[in-house]
């Protein structure tokens, strides 16, 4: 069981307000930290969130507009000021490598850790033993990548009595629990010999700035939670089209088509002091919708935990 918590560090679009900083989302998954986008000043709320500055960290930038990328420099420098020692991996669209390199040269700041920066393309960009992170190009005024954190299915419940009955030594149980076969006295044992069916894991989607597209419907299909660009209300839908953003209702329509369980609206235009009307528009289409606020936390349980609690 791995805890997964999402912390919204910035939820405004284009310019910050007194209540909202610029785009930044942190996901703390077990001992690991993942940061998606880094608007100007993002490091302040990252430090205030107390998610840890020396954890295994990956940072993902959706696109190279300032309200999503300028804060990356502050995060990197702040981590060095706190004497971080672990490597940091940064992923983003074309231009991210040059952006980091040139700004480090101009600003002249050193780092206390190894920094690896990579440009991404659509497809799997990170793969570990437990999850993959995928990228899909959206539709914006510049290249924008949506991201999907998709955990691999968990092994079924382990039945020690079955292992004992089969004569499998206790010190070999862990190998089967990690999904691998073992051989004892010429006989092969599979995980399914001592475990139940695989259990579902979690899928978290983050759109970046985009118009809704059928490609994104397919990309986010079945997500447990989707965080989507909701810059405008339907009243300003012409601005959403003109500036390649989405309305709250359009975000809900995409979430419904993609059979997303929970939708979180974010990236609100500063013209909306109160976003409750945007939530109402979205809930008419997708009832399980909420609006993100700065420093809001969401704990994401496993799907079978949700079912068990009902």
Active centre residues (catalytic)? 67
Nearest to 75 by CA among 50, 106, 110, 47: 47
User: Rounded CA gap, 235 and 256, in Å?
Assistant: 21
* DSSP-H helix ranges across 52-122: 66-69, 71-81, 96-107
CB 281 within 8 A of CB 25: no
CB 71 within 8 A of CB 65: no
CB 265 within 8 A of CB 248: yes
Nearest to 292 by CA among 278, 271, 306: 278
Instruction: Provide the 8-state DSSP code for 133.
Output: E
Return the structure tokens found at 42.
């993002």
User: Rounded CA gap, 84 and 78, in Å?
Assistant: 9
């Amino acid at each position: 069981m791995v805890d997964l918590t999402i912390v919204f560090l910035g939820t405004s679009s284009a310019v910050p307000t007194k209540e909202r900083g610029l785009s930044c989302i942190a996901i703390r998954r077990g001992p690991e930290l993942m940061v998606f986008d880094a608007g100007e000043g993002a490091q302040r709320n990252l430090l205030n969130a107390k998610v840890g500055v020396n954890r295994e960290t990956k940072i993902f930038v959706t696109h190279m507009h300032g309200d999503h990328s300028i804060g990356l420099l502050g995060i990197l420098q702040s981590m060095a000021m706190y004497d971080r020692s672990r490597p940091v991996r940064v992923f983003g669209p074309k231009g991210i490598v040059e952006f980091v390199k040139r700004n480090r040269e101009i600003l002249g700041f050193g780092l206390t850790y190894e920094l690896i920066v990579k440009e991404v393309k659509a497809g799997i960009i990170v793969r570990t033993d437990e999850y993959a992170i995928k990228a899909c190009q959206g539709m914006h005024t510049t290249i924008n990548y949506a991201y999907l954190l998709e955990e691999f299915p968990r092994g079924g419940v382990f039945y020690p009595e079955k292992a004992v009955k089969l004569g499998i030594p206790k010190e070999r149980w862990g190998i089967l629990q990690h999904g691998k076969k073992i051989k004892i006295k010429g006989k092969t044992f599979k995980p399914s010999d001592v475990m139940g069916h695989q259990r579902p894991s979690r899928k978290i989607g983050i759109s970046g700035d985009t118009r809704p597209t059928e490609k994104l419907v397919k990309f986010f299909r079945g997500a447990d939670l989707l965080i989507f660009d909701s810059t405008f209300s339907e009243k300003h839908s012409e601005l959403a089209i003109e500036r390649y953003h989405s309305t709250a209702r359009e975000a809900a329509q995409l979430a419904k088509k993609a059979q997303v369980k929970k939708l979180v609206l974010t990236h609100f235009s500063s013209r909306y002091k109160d976003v409750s009307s945007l939530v109402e528009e979205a809930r008419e289409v997708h009832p399980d919708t909420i609006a993100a606020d700065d420093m809001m936390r969401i704990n994401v349980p496993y799907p079978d935990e949700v079912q068990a609690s009902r």
